[in-house]
Structure formats: structure tokens, C-alpha cells
Amino acid sequence: MSGGAGGPGGTAGWPSERLAPGARCGISEAEWFHFLESGEPLHQWGPAFLLDEGRGACVRLYARDDSGAGRHLCARLDAAASDAARRGVLRLEVLSRRAADTITRLQGQPATSLREMEEQDAVSRRLTDAAEALYRQLIRD
């Protein structure tokens, strides 16, 4: 997954590849897109994604700033934060399946009651809240 000659200007890599565990740096939008497209993200939520460096290695968090200010960043999580990220993604997968199952079950019915619409909204909200909390925690740490 190394930037190698594909890094900016043919350099030896991207800034995010040189980060020590627990460090962070500003990155370009080109770097953000490079890693989004060149790897298989562990998880993506809006303009942020997690890239797992492999078993026993760190997880990198890439976040794009959509405000136009260009404050894109990468944080290479330390071992504890990387483990928390992996556990958080597993929790999000469970919540995502529950939300999809609920939505699928309710869509198969001819009419949806207010209670069923509230149930659908609640499972979707739990997923959204959990994903936002995970990414906020990882960016903060």
C-alpha cells in the first residue's frame, strides 16, 4: 500500500506513511483520495475512513475536511486505539445489519404504522450515533 513512486511528485511516499503510531499530520486531498482508492478501507463513514495496515499493525484514520479550508488529516493510531477502532467497526457492522434487517422487514409490508416508522428511525439513529461517536473518539485520541 506504499505510495512509492506514486507519491506526490514521485517522492518516496506520502506523509501519512511516515507517521509514528499515535502521530497525526495534515494531508492533501490527493493523498486522501489515493488511500481511499488504493486500499480496501476497514470502514468508511462520510468523509472519513479507516485503513488497516494489517494483522498486529496500526490503523490509520483519514479524514477529509469538506468545509473548503483544506484541513484534511491522517492519524496513525497507536496499538490501543487501533484495537478500539477494530472493535468499534465490528460493533458498527452489527448495528448496520440490525438496521438493514429492520428496514427490509418493514419494506416488505403493504403499510407501515407510526410505531414501525419509529422503530426504523431508532435503529438507523443508533447506527449513525455509534459511527459518529467512534470517529469523534478516534480523531480526538
- The CA distance from 125 to 136, in Å, is 16
Provide the pLDDT confidence category of residue 8 given band limits of 50, 70 and 90.
Answer: low
Mean pLDDT of 85-114: 88
Mean pLDDT of 118-126: 91
User: What's the Rg (C-alpha) of the chain?
Assistant: 18
- Count of domains observed in the chain: 1
The SS3 assignment for 50 reads strand
11 pLDDT higher than 50: no
Q: Which domain holds residue 30?
A: 4-140
Count CB neighbours of 12 within 10 A: 11
Query: Measuring CA to CA, how many Å separate 137 from each of 20, 38, 105, 116, 134?
Result: 19, 25, 32, 32, 5
Count CB neighbours of 5 within 10 A: 10
Pick the residue with more confidence: 1 or 27?
27
This model's pTM is above 0.85: no
Given a contact cutoff of 8 angstroms between Cβ atoms, the answer to whether 62 and 51 are in contact is yes
Mean pLDDT of 6-20: 74
